[in-house]
Amino acid sequence: MGGIIVSEFVSIDGFYADPGGGLDWVTADDEHHDYSISLLERTGLLLFGRRTYEIFHAYWPGVADNPAATRREIAIGALLDPIPKVVYSRTRSYSGWVTTVRPQLAPAELVTAKAETDGEIVVFGSGRLARDLARAGLVDEYHLLVQPVALGGGAPLFEPGRRTDLVLRRCEPLRSGVIRHFSVPATGPVERTNYS
């Protein structure tokens, strides 16, 4: 039985993409690749929004057999290739790379998938999908890869105007300045020290 993990690059001010949808502010170095390998080793199902899937699909299929790829890229490619993938898209269809397309999020299907999946269910990127999953109460854990940059605007990971309490389980500062936050959604009131 797997939980749903959202693994997301996010700016220090909470955006998963800049105002133009770009990601040129993201650091994805060897430490990040090691994290990805570790997470993929325990992943049984991947969920994607259309845009993130297209980014992954444009690069990763076949990387495991590419002699020009780095050792870490080969490991990630070899892990990604056989994992079943679900892409949520109303406008596109995809075939190959163990991919199924769904037109919209169906919470009941994911509750069943959580019970039947051997391993974790992981969402890489796919900020809109992550928000939809959070709204449906389906996210079990967040891996927030907080980049040392404030974008000042863009696509927010968390729904604007809606409070989301998280409980930090641990954090890891990386050499690049990225801080990985491993958090779970709060299941009840969270004690806070108030300044009043």
Kindly report the CATH number assigned to the domain that includes residue 28. Answer: 3.40.430.10
Q: Is residue 193 part of a domain?
A: no
Question: Rounded to a whole number, what is the distance in angstroms from the first to the last CA of the chain?
Answer: 44
Range of the domain at 78: 4-185
The upper half-sphere exposure of residue 175, i.e. CA atoms within 13 Å in the direction of its Cβ, equals 5
pTM for the model: 0.93
Residue 92 lies in a domain: yes
Which residues touch 193 (CB under 8 Å, ≥6 apart)?
none
> Where do the DSSP E strands lie in 69-119?
85-88, 99-102
Whether residue 33 is contained in a domain is answered as: yes
Residue 17 lies in a domain: yes
192 belongs to a structural domain: no
Domain membership flag for residue 78: yes
Per-residue pLDDT of the chain (196 residues; tens, 9 = 90+): 789 999 999 999 999 999 999 999 999 899 999 999 999 999 999 999 999 999 999 999 999 999 999 999 999 999 999 999 999 999 999 989 999 999 999 999 999 999 999 999 999 999 999 999 999 999 999 999 999 999 999 999 999 999 999 999 999 999 999 999 999 999 877 676 777 6
The verdict on residue 195 lying in a domain is: no
**Number of domains observed in the structure of the chain:** 1
Judge whether 196 lies within some domain: no
